[in-house]
Structure 1
């Protein structure tokens, strides 16, 4: 876990789970810079771990002493460059010529009373405000696409055979389309960034119950305990950010 004492506090944790041989998730928690990231790698072997690690390492090096809009531009440019590198330079050197080296990403930036979230894939960012949970990000997945097209319901999506297929990710497609949302920050707001290994095993009510706790460390611990008490078939990562 990581934590920091400032206007914004953050607690972060990642676990391999009970089934996967290795952890391909990565996170970044830099409250002193107002930057938090979760990346969920894909590609098998060490490829997914490489992709997620490169994302957090590169984002950690970006300039931070500038306005939020400028920082957001730096993040987007960095992710586009990584998409090119993962999709062209690294993939062709993999053991299999058709191997994918990619990762989801969700990044949160906060500057004063403004916040911005940028993402690709199905790692999520939630907002906890006024004792209510809001999902800020929209999954870039086949399941969400089918829901948007009203071909299946949210409940049916849980059992759809292609529900985990991604429609966007860093390194997976030549044309990367990032999605961004900006919002005002209110007192007592909290943000939760997490990979699908966490939220797929927790109901919205369960996440809300933990975010209602005054201790961010306890909230993260209880969420992870609940997931690890179950099958925990995937890697799970989360970063909780609050004032």
Structure 2
């Protein structure tokens, strides 16, 4: 299907100031209305390979005839990747408790239709009407504690293991993806990012950057904000706007 892009985008990834390698990966395909961020599971074997696998597999998807079929194709791809990462680990792992996995957050846009698909704690934000909305919901122990025990984010984060993921590609045999469909509106700005970016910025700082007219300028503002601080983690982001 011929796809006429209505959206402009900019993407970047950086290892930060502490990590020895970058385990993040980004996909920026405005001509196909498809973007993604993947964050290889830090501290685990081949996290960088896992995240690159995710974006490469999404980039190779054929273009179905309808938006609904495109969304199904992305979901099928991610479920296949979950199985494939598990198989690769079984074939090559030296330790039974090793994990080869990655988070993912992907965005599909076509006309006024939008869909966000994710697993893990990489996020999708929407800037609309001078307000910032978090469209994805973290698959993390911290979010689980907030939901089940009515804790604040700060209270949950203070507990041991709060940053542990409850879902990710390659983390378990069965994967339940987060999916959100919505109607895109004129002036919408979307942000996909890894935790290394949003953990070091306030909601106000995120919103101020996304209010800028150019995706490239907005992206530079976001990265400058993180890299001017400690930047302890890899950071990646894609900014998409009409």
Same fold, TM-score > 0.5, yes or no: yes
In structure 2, runs of 5+ residues without a counterpart are none
Displacement, 1:231?
A: 1.1
Indicate the residue corresponding to 2:180 in structure 1: 181
Indicate the residue corresponding to 1:144 in structure 2: 143
SS in structure 1 at match of 2:170: coil
Is the 1:129–1:188 Cα contact (8 Å) retained in structure 2?
A: yes
Q: Mean alpha-carbon deviation: is it higher for 56-65 or for 82-91?
A: 82-91
Displacement, 1:240?
A: 0.2
Is the 1:43–1:100 Cα contact (8 Å) retained in structure 2?
A: no
Superposed CA deviations along residues 84-103 of structure 1, whole A, max 9, x for unmatched, are: 11112334403434311000
Following superposition of structure 1 onto structure 2, how do residues 60-79 of structure 1 map, counting pairs within 5 Å?
Answer: 60-79=59-78
SS in structure 1 at match of 2:205: helix
Structure 1 runs of 4+ aligned residues shifted over 2 Å read: 43-46, 88-92, 94-98, 157-161
Indicate the residue corresponding to 1:228 in structure 2: 227
- What is the root-mean-square deviation of aligned Cα atoms in Å? 1.5
TM (normalized to structure 1)?
A: 0.94
In structure 1, how many angstroms separate the alpha carbons of the residues matched to 2:21 and 2:218? Answer: 25
Q: Mean alpha-carbon deviation: is it higher for 59-68 or for 30-39?
A: 59-68
Q: Mean alpha-carbon deviation: is it higher for 197-206 or for 65-74?
A: 65-74
Indicate the residue corresponding to 2:123 in structure 1: 124
Question: How many residues get paired?
Answer: 239
Displacement, 1:54?
A: 0.5
Indicate the residue corresponding to 1:14 in structure 2: 13
Indicate the residue corresponding to 1:153 in structure 2: 152
Following superposition of structure 1 onto structure 2, how do residues 42-57 of structure 1 map, counting pairs within 5 Å?
Answer: 42=41, 44=43, 47-57=46-56
Is the 2:35–2:107 Cα contact (8 Å) retained in structure 1?
A: yes
Superposed CA deviations along residues 121-153 of structure 1, whole A, max 9, x for unmatched, are: 000000111111000000000000000013521
Displacement, 1:157?
A: 2.9
SS in structure 1 at match of 2:17: coil
Displacement, 1:239?
A: 0.2
Superposed CA deviations along residues 59-85 of structure 1, whole A, max 9, x for unmatched, are: 111122421110111111111111111
In structure 1, how many angstroms separate the alpha carbons of the residues matched to 2:157 and 2:241? Answer: 30
Superposed CA deviations along residues 183-226 of structure 1, whole A, max 9, x for unmatched, are: 00100111000000000000101101111111221211111111
Indicate the residue corresponding to 2:206 in structure 1: 207
TM (normalized to structure 2)?
A: 0.94
Is the 1:91–1:99 Cα contact (8 Å) retained in structure 2?
A: no
In structure 1, runs of 5+ residues without a counterpart are none
In structure 2, how many angstroms separate the alpha carbons of the residues matched to 1:135 and 1:151? Answer: 19
